[in-house]
Amino acid sequence: MQILVVEDEEKIAHFLRRGLMEESYAVDVAYDGEDALYKFDVNEYDFVILDLIIPKIDGIKVCREVRKKNKNIPILVLTARDSVEGKIEGLDAGADDYMTKPFSFDELTARIRALLRRGKEATPAVLKMYDLRLDPATKTAKRGSKLISLSAREYALLEYFMRNKNIVLSKTQILEHVWDYNYDGFSNIVETYVKYLRKKLRTKAKDAELIHTARGFGYIMK
């Protein structure tokens, strides 16, 4: 899942990006409201974490613009404004949840998971595909009764496939959602990680293949 973090304090922004990437999210950071709206226009995000006190365009205006452009994307306000009036203003602008600084990172990730489950078509807490189960809360995957050991990036790729099962995903979509806007590594990273993942998901020789190549388009989990 790709998250846009809008935060002007570099220390907090770096902490959020590092922590969320360790939780297997792809993360872009915008340090002001103008950059946030630009990034939102040119990228496809699954979630927004938004500070209200940011330069150029304030967080309330950013929240309203994001909500106009996408009615369903979860927006979590993370700000030092802890007054009741501030919370009301943020929620009325279109935010789905509101946290004040200082904050617990564990609580933040729990709220992200909860908001993602509340989407347009609510997804269950544990994702299932045939005999494969993925638990976002514990970051564990099982095929039948066998636990599958995954790296953080393999986990992120599997979660993206399972949240979009039966949908053809292009390599560009996968790159943007599983890695991030600034990725500048080797060009066949998607193919390489799909290969790793396919191998790990075949826990037994007779296991059915779950990730299929859609030639000329990308990949599909079905």
User: Using an 8 Å Cβ cutoff, are 44 and 2 in contact?
Assistant: yes
Q: What is the pLDDT of residue 181?
A: 57
CA dist 69 → 41, 64, 65, 72, 172 (Å)? 9, 9, 6, 9, 21
Q: pLDDT above 70 covers what percent of the chain?
A: 94
Distance from chain centroid for Cα 206: 32
Spatial distance between the Cα atoms of 19 and 120, rounded to a whole number of angstroms: 27
* Res 185 pLDDT > 70: no
CA atoms within 13 Å, Cβ hemisphere of 215 = 0
User: Using an 8 Å Cβ cutoff, are 56 and 125 in contact?
Assistant: no
State the maximum Cα–Cα separation within the chain, in Å, rounded to a whole number. Answer: 60
Rg (CA), the chain: 18
Beta strands across the sheet bearing 140-143: 127-129, 132-135, 140-143, 146-148
Q: What is the pLDDT of residues 55-65, one digit of tens each?
A: 999 999 999 99
* Res 184 pLDDT > 70: no
Q: What is the pLDDT of residue 70?
A: 92
Q: Tell whether omega for the bond before 102 is within 30 degrees of 0, i.e. cis.
A: yes
> By three-state DSSP, how is residue 90 classified?
helix
* Res 120 pLDDT > 70: no
Q: Where are the alpha helices (DSSP H) in 149-188?
A: 152-163, 171-178
Q: What is the pLDDT of residue 202?
A: 87
Residue 169: count of CB within 10 angstroms of its CB: 20
Residue range 146-151: average pLDDT? 92
Residue range 68-88: average pLDDT? 92
Identify the band that residue 132 occupies on the pLDDT scale cut at 50, 70 and 90.
very high
Nearest CA to 40 out of 2, 12, 13 is that of 2
* Res 4 pLDDT > 90: yes
Q: What is the pLDDT of residues 46-57, one digit of tens each?
A: 999 999 999 999
User: Using an 8 Å Cβ cutoff, are 49 and 39 in contact?
Assistant: no
Identify the band that residue 76 occupies on the pLDDT scale cut at 50, 70 and 90.
very high
Where is 172: in which H helix or E strand? helix 171-178
Q: pLDDT above 90 covers what percent of the chain?
A: 64
* Token output for 53: 């006190």
Domains defined for the chain, CATH in brackets? 2-117 (3.40.50.2300), 127-221 (1.10.10.10)
Mean pLDDT of the chain: 89
> By three-state DSSP, how is residue 109 classified?
helix
Identify the band that residue 186 occupies on the pLDDT scale cut at 50, 70 and 90.
low
Where is 164: in which H helix or E strand? none
Q: Does the pTM exceed 0.95?
A: no
